Amino acid sequence: MIILLHVLVAAIYAATAWLRWPRAATRAPRGVAPALLALALILHAIAISRAIIGPGGLDLSFVNALSLVAGLAVLAAWLTGVLRTLPGVAAVVLPVAAVCALLPPLAASPHRVAFAGDPWAAVHIGIALVAYALFVVVALQALVMTGLEKRLHRGHPGAAASATPPLLTLERYMFRLLTVGFVLLTLTLASGMLFSEELFGTPATLTNKIVFTVAGWVAFAVLLFGRWRYGWRGRTALKWILAGTLLLVLGYLGSKFVREVVLGR
């Protein structure tokens, strides 16, 4: 039954992605795609909750964490309006979420996080995951906007570009999302380093995960300073956004993949 729920979530994500293609969107009744997306998010929340929450603590194994971050990325993109204003983001994030939704039943063994039963530790983890999801959305938004900007410079904007708001408006909104993600990431790092022993029972240590996360934080800090001081935008901003997001992904999901899948710990 649980497996069928994950398959259903993946199918609805895939159907929503197909309905957002220009040709399909013109034929589908108005409101079908948003309704399907809402249903997919609700079912995904139920499925991933059953996979993660257990009597022994939270099971944040690699596949569960990947599915959760993908679902949060879709939710963030939907709530912020990015899926509506930039269809190219939907063309990437929805199929990826469909694949990730299928992964939790494939987990070979659980990886319980016993300390996550503590409310403050759960809040710490929740803030971190939301920050990661926001940065994923920002990275996808930056990639799509860069593609639109190239088409405009070549004189071939296309129907998608003509239907979107001005790029400068989208860029300002993207940096607002990035700022929110940066604040959440800062809270995550500060709480993890200052209250590690209270939250997790051990003092903070210099691990690969922390090194990559701090490096990602530095990348986003440099970008925000460059934006404020020198007006960085376009390809310069894209490089820093992709670098920071990649470092965060390597720090959290990458370390989990190596430890659980490659090393089998």
Residue 110: the pLDDT is 61
Mind listing the pLDDT tens digit for each residue in 168-207? 888 999 999 999 999 999 999 988 777 665 555 565 677 7
Q: Is residue 81 part of a domain?
A: no
Number of domains in the chain: 2
Residue 147: the pLDDT is 81
Q: Are residues 141 and 48 in the same domain?
A: no
Domain boundary (108, 141, 167) is at: 108
Q: Is residue 155 part of a domain?
A: yes
Q: Are residues 137 and 46 in the same domain?
A: no
Average pLDDT over residues 205-217: 87
Residue 93: the pLDDT is 94
Local confidence band at 31 (pLDDT 50, 70, 90 cut-offs) = confident
Q: Which residue has the higher pLDDT, 254 or 103?
A: 103
Q: Which of 63-67, 118-122, 177-181, 209-213 has the highest mean pLDDT?
A: 177-181
Q: Is residue 8 part of a domain?
A: yes
Local confidence band at 209 (pLDDT 50, 70, 90 cut-offs) = confident
Q: Is residue 25 part of a domain?
A: yes
Residue 243 has pLDDT above 60, yes or no: yes
Residue 229: the pLDDT is 93
Percent of the chain with pLDDT over 90: 45
Q: Are residues 122 and 244 in the same domain?
A: yes
Residue 195: the pLDDT is 63
How much is the pTM?
0.87
Locate tokens 């957002």: which residue?
20
Q: Is residue 69 part of a domain?
A: no
Q: Are residues 134 and 104 in the same domain?
A: no
Residue 225 has pLDDT above 60, yes or no: yes
Q: Are residues 102 and 137 in the same domain?
A: no
Q: Which of 103-112, 191-200, 242-251 has the highest mean pLDDT?
A: 242-251
Q: Which residue has the higher pLDDT, 175 or 114?
A: 175
Q: Are residues 56 and 183 in the same domain?
A: no
Residue 240: both structure tokens together: 């820093």
Residue 53: the pLDDT is 81
Domain carrying residue 178: 118-265
Local confidence band at 158 (pLDDT 50, 70, 90 cut-offs) = low
Q: Are residues 166 and 221 in the same domain?
A: yes
Rounded-to-integer distance, Cα 232 and Cα 119, Å? 39
Q: Are residues 159 and 244 in the same domain?
A: yes
Average pLDDT over residues 12-33: 78
Mind listing the pLDDT tens digit for each residue in 75-107? 999 999 898 888 888 889 999 999 999 998 876
Q: Are residues 102 and 122 in the same domain?
A: no
Q: Is residue 74 part of a domain?
A: no
Average pLDDT, the chain: 84
Q: Is residue 78 part of a domain?
A: no
Q: Are residues 189 and 265 in the same domain?
A: yes
Q: Are residues 56 and 174 in the same domain?
A: no
Q: Are residues 35 and 135 in the same domain?
A: no
Q: Is residue 191 part of a domain?
A: yes
